[in-house]
């Protein structure tokens, strides 16, 4: 594979015109993550349910991570892997028929650079605000997940319907609770690549609207109140697991639509590590019906 970090193609004026109205109501400051979150950063996250930190890693370091991700992808495809620790991989095909992984789980178990990435001491700042007893669950749930979105024939992962991450707790026979979903961008993600859409303030909802406000994963329509979370390669984002969000399909196609994001697993409670004998969670068995 050729290592690339995509950059925006459209002009700033064109991108601004395509942004949802909520992006003109909420101005995201150019935050940077240090040893601890500042009171202003904590207030922004608590108020809106999401935040973005610019240049968590420089582009040169991102490029090295991309190289390792692409090497792991090629290796797992060559091995014929379809499941890791009970979690299915989402597979796509390129124009020439080559397979590639569009949702890779437990990625840091296959690459030293990815493993070292999870040891960055700045993650302690996020663990601190996540709550007492939180840790990075490298071998828990789905581990380090890498989502690879492309809009082209053969792609199995072009968009993702509205959902809340906390609902997944029900499938583990646990009550939905607050936790933080931490994303790290391997590619630039301007508006024409689609990307994450969130409904600000919805993380403050109760259990009933969390269950019923939208049809989980089936509803992919634009919401009048949604906010487009745009980012650049090297940026880090956080959103509250209780917030309603989706992944919009790119308007660009082919290589210009490529958007890869890593999600860092934060866990609390009893240690529940997975291995190759772990069963497949029920919500993955339902995936073929909901197409997520």
* Interatomic CA distance for residues 81 and 254, integer angstroms: 25
- In terms of residues, how long is the chain? 292
* Interatomic CA distance for residues 122 and 97, integer angstroms: 40
Say if CB 107 and CB 117 are below 8 A apart: no
* Interatomic CA distance for residues 269 and 278, integer angstroms: 19
Per-residue tokens: 159: 């968009």
* Interatomic CA distance for residues 53 and 234, integer angstroms: 9
Model pTM? Answer: 0.90
Region of poorest pLDDT, from 48-57, 201-210, 230-239, 252-261:
201-210
Query: What is the H or E stretch that residue 180 is in?
Result: strand 180-185
Q: How confident is the model at residue 15 (pLDDT cuts 50, 70, 90)?
A: low
* Interatomic CA distance for residues 176 and 280, integer angstroms: 20
pLDDT of residue 108: 98
Q: What is the pLDDT averaged over residues 196-206?
A: 92
- Give the tens place of pLDDT for each residue, 49-96: 999 999 999 999 999 999 999 999 999 999 999 999 999 999 999 988
pLDDT of residue 10: 53
Say if CB 56 and CB 235 are below 8 A apart: yes
Q: pLDDT averaged over the chain?
A: 89
pLDDT of residue 5: 54
Query: What is the H or E stretch that residue 24 is in?
Result: helix 22-25
- Give the tens place of pLDDT for each residue, 130-170: 999 999 999 998 999 999 999 999 999 999 999 988 766 66
pLDDT of residue 13: 44
pLDDT score of 2 more than 50: no
Minimal CA–CA distance to 213: which of 241, 176, 242, 171?
242
Q: Which residue has the higher pLDDT, 235 or 178?
A: 235
Phi-psi region of 97 (alpha: psi -120 to 50; beta: other; left: phi over 0): left
Domains of the chain and CATH, by start: 35-268+279-290 (2.60.120.620)
Residue with tokens 């299915």: 88
pLDDT score of 284 more than 80: no
Burial class (CB in 10 A: 0-12, 13-18, 19+), 21: exposed
- What are the beta bridge partners of residue 87? 84
pLDDT of residue 41: 98
Per-residue tokens: 173: 């026979």
pLDDT of residue 170: 60
pLDDT of residue 269: 83
């Amino acid at each position: 594979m050729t290592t690339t970090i995509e950059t925006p193609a459209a002009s700033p004026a064109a991108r601004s015109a395509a942004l949802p109205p909520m992006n003109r109501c909420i101005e995201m400051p150019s935050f940077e993550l240090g040893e601890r979150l500042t009171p202003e950063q904590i207030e922004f996250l608590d108020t809106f349910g999401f935040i973005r930190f610019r240049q968590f890693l420089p582009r040169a370091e991102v490029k090295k991570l991309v190289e390792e991700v692409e090497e792991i992808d090629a290796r797992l495809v060559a091995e014929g892997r379809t499941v890791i620790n009970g979690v299915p991989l989402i597979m796509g095909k390129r124009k020439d028929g080559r397979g590639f992984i569009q949702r890779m789980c437990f990625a840091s178990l296959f690459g030293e650079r990815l493993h070292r990435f999870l040891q960055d001491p700045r993650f302690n700042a996020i663990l601190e605000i996540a709550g007492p007893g939180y840790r990075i669950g490298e071998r828990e749930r789905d581990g380090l997940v890498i989502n690879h979105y492309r809009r082209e024939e053969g792609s199995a992962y072009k968009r993702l319907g509205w959902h809340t991450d906390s609902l997944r707790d029900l499938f583990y026979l646990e009550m939905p609770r607050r936790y933080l979903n931490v994303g790290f961008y391997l590619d630039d993600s301007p508006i024409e690549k689609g990307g994450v859409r969130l409904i600000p303030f919805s993380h403050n909802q109760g259990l009933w609207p969390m269950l019923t406000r939208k049809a989980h994963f089936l509803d992919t329509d634009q919401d009048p109140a949604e906010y487009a979370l745009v980012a650049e390669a090297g940026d880090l984002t956080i959103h509250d697991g209780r917030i309603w969000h989706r992944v919009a399909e790119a308007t660009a196609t082919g290589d210009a639509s490529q958007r890869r994001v890593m999600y860092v697993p934060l866990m609390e409670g009893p240690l529940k590590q997975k291995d190759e004998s772990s069963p497949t969670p029920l919500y993955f068995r339902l995936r073929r019906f909901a197409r997520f």
